[in-house]
Structures are given as C-alpha cells and as structure tokens.
Structure 1
Amino acid sequence: MEPPSAPPCRVSVPWQGLLLSVSLLTFWNLPTTAQLTIESVPANAVEGSDVLLLAHNLPENLQGYYWYKGESAMDNQQIALYVIATQETRPGSVYSGREKIYPNGSLLFQNVTQNDTGFYTLQTLNISLHKELASVQLHVYELVTKPSINTTTNTTVTEQGSVVLICVSYDTGISIRWIFNNQSLRLTERMTLSEGNSTLSIDPVRREDDGEYQCEVYNMVSSRRSDSIRLAVIYDPTTASSGLSAGAIAGIVVGVVAGVALIVALAHFLFFRKTSGASNQRDLTEHKPSASNHSLGTSDNSPNKVDEVSYSSLIFNTREPKQPIPALSVSTAAETVYLEVKRK
C-alpha cells in the first residue's frame, strides 16, 4: 500500500514585489554623473606667476569650451572659445593674450597680476547642445616688501614711562604682527594695538619689556620682518611701584600710625608707673629711720625687728700748737661724731 502523496505546494508572489525589486536593481546599476568643478592651482598665486584653472568631471560628447571672467556666461566677458574638433582657440572680448585653453578644458593664466583676481567660469557644450557651468575664484597676491619700525619716543626709556612703536609698510592687503625676542609678542594689559596692528603702545613700561622688537607683515603667499629695534628700560627706584592699590596703601599707613600711637601710649604708661613707684619707695625710705629709732627705744629685743642700727665713732683730733695745758682746764681738742649705719 503506497503512502498518500502530498499535494503540490504553490507560492504566490505578488507582481508588485517583483516590480519593486527590478526597479531597485536598475537604480543601483545606474552610472553616477559627477558634477563639473574647477580647481585653482595654486589656490593663492603670487603676482607674476602662472596659474592653472583645472577642470574636473567633464561631461561626455563635448564639442567646445567657453571661458568667461566673472560668475556668469556673459558674451561681453568671454575670454576665449575652444573648439574640440579643430583644437582651435577663438579669442573673446576680454582676451589678454596670456590665457591658453587646453584640450581637457583647463585654462592656463600666465604672468598673473592683482587685477586678475576674481571669479572665472567654464561653460561646456555637448553635441546635444546641453550646457554646464562651473566657477572658481582666483586669488593673486604680491610679494610683501620689508617693513620698518619708527618710534615717537626714545628707545631708552625709564621704567614707568611709555613708548610707541610704529610699523611702516607700503604694501596693501597685508596683516601685521609684532615679534618680541624672536617670538610672537604676548600682549599684556599695559599694551595696546591700533586698528590694523600697525602701532604698538606700552604704558607704563616695565623692566620685563626690555628687549628686541620687530614687526612682520604677511599675506597668503609671503611674509617679511623688519630689522629689530632694541628697547632699553632703565630702572628708576624713585618711581618704583609697590603694585598695591591706593586703598591698600592707605590701609597700611593707617595701621602703621595706629601701631605707633599705641606704642607711644604704652611707653608713657610704663614711664609714669615706674616714676610713681620710685617716688613711693623714696618716701617709704625717708620714714623708716624714725620708725626704727622708735622701735629701738621701746622694744629693742623684739624678735621680729627688721632694721638693725649700729653706731660707729669717728674721732677727729685737732692739732693745736704745742703749748702747756693747764691742769684744771677741760680740753675740747677731741670731738666725737656719731654716724648711723643702717643694715638691712
């Protein structure tokens, strides 16, 4: 007995899905067309050099190239027409004789000047008379000349003085920067630059500003530096600044004055105190002998007595001429002086 056979399986694919798949495959396989562009070689040209305006991504089946000065294809601004079939160049209304068109559509500018600066436009024409446009900007610069530095003041300056340095250049379309000791100058709050950086002012001058100064002029294609000028800063101790604000200085002065006043007051206090103590001690000393005498008279054997009084006698002999002394007379030739010596 044979097993039952399974019915055939049919898969239904919508026709819209097949159409979408075919459309996507067709889109992916379409060749991409790059846009026509122009490149300036070099991007920034030096006056007197040659510049190539190089064409990229040219369309196919072309029959000619048209070059124009400006950003649009104007007949009165046409430089030249190049015919591919005959490799012939036909000059336009602004043709100067320095332009040359190559078979690849590129334009060579010879001995460019600053007047050649601006936009240039290439227009292509194919056999179907379809046109495409692309523009590029040409930059032409002159080589800068060597600048110089002038000063309105002496280059030997006393500290806390001022100085003004001026960079002199007759070039146009330039930028200026300042060089200090062969490095780019770092501006401080004491330094100011004029519009265009041609004038450098330093006020006040400090000892760290002493050194070699140069100015440099430059553009996109060249740069030149001036000769260096030496700024000599002389230290003047009479104009030295402490770097403190007026308020801080006033506070210091007030504090010093107050401190001096306090010291003087303390000295007066100590002086008067010492003077008063010495006076009291002197008074006490003057009163002690009488008290001691009184003590000796009443209680000489007191165990708590403080002062002891001893007596010494000095005998002064008065010498008289040797004469006989009467027997019954009382001689007063000798006098006894008692001194009181206090022992503590």
Structure 2
Amino acid sequence: MDLSRPRCRHWRELVLLASLLACGIRQVYSQISIDPESLLGIKGFRTILVLQNVPQDVQEYSWHRGTNDTAENMIVSYTPPSETWQSGPMFSGRENVTRTGSLVIRRSALNDTGNYTARVDFGNRTEKATGCLSIQELENKPGIWANASSVVEYMDPVAAICYTNATNVNWYVEYTQVSSNDRMTISPDLKTLIIHRVSRYDKTLQCETESIPEFPRRSEPLSLSVDYGPDNVQLRTSHSILNGILSAEIGSQVHMECKATSRPSPKYHWTHNGSLLSLSGAKIILPSLAWEQMGRYRCIVENPMTQLAMYREFQIQVPQSCCEQRLLHLRSQSGQRLSLRNPDLYVDQPSLHQ
C-alpha cells in the first residue's frame, strides 16, 4: 500500500481545490493530466505525482517546479527507453521519474508544497499538465489519561481523556473499537470515555485521531490493573468425590487442592468440621489418613482486594465395608453382640467423625 496516496477521493478533491485556490494556479487542460488524488502528500512519506493519459510514443518526460516548463525550473527529466535521467536546477536529490512518467518525491517535506508542471515531448508536439501539490503534516500521537489505574471489577468506574485538537476521535478497549452502550459512555466531543462498570476484559484503553483521513494516529496503550474474583473455584483431590463424599481407606494418602480465578492471587483457608486449620495454601496433604481426620472439609478462597470469598466443601469417609469391619472389631473387644444390620442399636458405639 502506498502511504502517500490515500483513497478518500471526495476529501482529497476538496483539499486539491483549496490548494489550487491558495496557489492561484489554474490546471492546464490537455490530453495528459496529473491525477488529482496524487496532489496530496504526507510529510516524511513518499509522494508520487501520477501522470495520466500518456500515449506510448513519448520521447522525453520532464518535471518542473512552478507553472512554467523552463530550463531553470526543471527538476528532473527522463528519456525512455534509454533509462537516462537528467537533473535540473530544482533537483533536491529526492526526486525521480518513473518509466510511465510519474514524479516520485522521497521523504516529502513541507516546503515541497507548490506547483508542479509535467512536460511530455512526443517529437512532433509537446503537452503539459500543471497541478498544485499540498504536503500535510501528521499530528503527534494523542495523549491519554485516566482517573484511576487500579480498580475492582464491577465496582469501580473509570474516566479516560484523550488529549488532542482533532475533532474525529475513536476509542478502543482491548484493541477493539467501542461506542456508547449500557456499560460505557463517550462524551459528545468524543474526547472522554467513561466505563461505568469496569470488567477484567477492560485492561487496555486507547484513543485514535484522524486529522487526515486514512492516516489515523493512535495513542500509546493505557493499562488498567483490574482486580477480580475469586470465581470458578475448583476442587482437586487424589480420590474421586461423588455427591460430596470422598471415600478413602484408613492409612491412605489423601491430596486436596483448591483452584480459583482471581487477581491478585487469593488467600486460602481450610476448616475441618467447622474448626479453622492452621494449614495455609491451596494444597493439603494427609500422609496417612486417620480416623480423627474423617469429616467435613471446607476450602475458603478469599480475595482481600475485592473483599469477596467463595468456598467448596466435601466429606471424607471410609468405604462402607471398612466402616462395618471397624465396628465389628471394636465391639468384639468389648464382648458385645453385634448386629451389622443395625449397629445404631448400641448406645456405646464410638463416633466415626471427630
């Protein structure tokens, strides 16, 4: 894509008309012509003044500064097909002529603005075309500022301001263009964006200006630190859990781990039968499961920044067959007669959960 040739025809024709009036120059109408869309360039970019309607029998192309094709005004000439170029008094070292007769100006400067005349020599006749080139300067990148850099999801609002003199401003959140909706508002002058309920997906804000169509200038990304969660709390164990029950043999090793989505990283607390354990961290390991370690476990996940907490809980029990064997062993030691069909008949039955 040639950055020196935007395609917005209507806008470029308006600029061309204004340039012609400002330069006080009339277009010389002939068979050949200069493409109006090429009469606008951008400072620092390559500009190509495109010559149109040129027949095949050309003996020489020459370009001149101003409205006259005199020798003292010549920039550069080209004689096809010998590929011979000749520079003139107005040559700056940045110009060249293509094989189709167009004038190339590298690294366009503001003082390149002005009138240019193309002369085409066919041997038995000469044709000319004149146009007024306007070199525009891109404005600097707009600045961006926000009233907060650290926020809590769905609780804190953010107002961002775009510092620019441009009247055409676009806003981007996470590199996607946004407009006013039920969650955010753009001011009538387009220079302020208010996000009423910031989400974790609003981490990057940018504003973009377009003082010259098809040459947008976007601000540096503004990063927000959004605290969120905990949510999506998951429980992983070394044994399968069915209906909230983890079945494990006495003496077996039991691993328990909590996972949650949160920013910043959450704090983890564990309780056993309602009592807070001194253990901390997302993981708990019971190297050799004992009877007193049976019961209800709860993993509590807390985010101190959002002041939110969630938990997951489950019950550790021995398998039913193991439970019956344990009752049989205890009561045989006390000399009692057992009924495995209804062990609750014995009031002195030991508790399985401590």
Give the TM-score normalised by structure 1: 0.39
Give the TM-score normalised by structure 2: 0.38
Q: Relative to total residues, which structure has the larger strand share, 1 or 2?
A: 2
Q: Relative to total residues, which structure has the larger helix share, 1 or 2?
A: 1
The structure that has the greater radius of gyration is 1
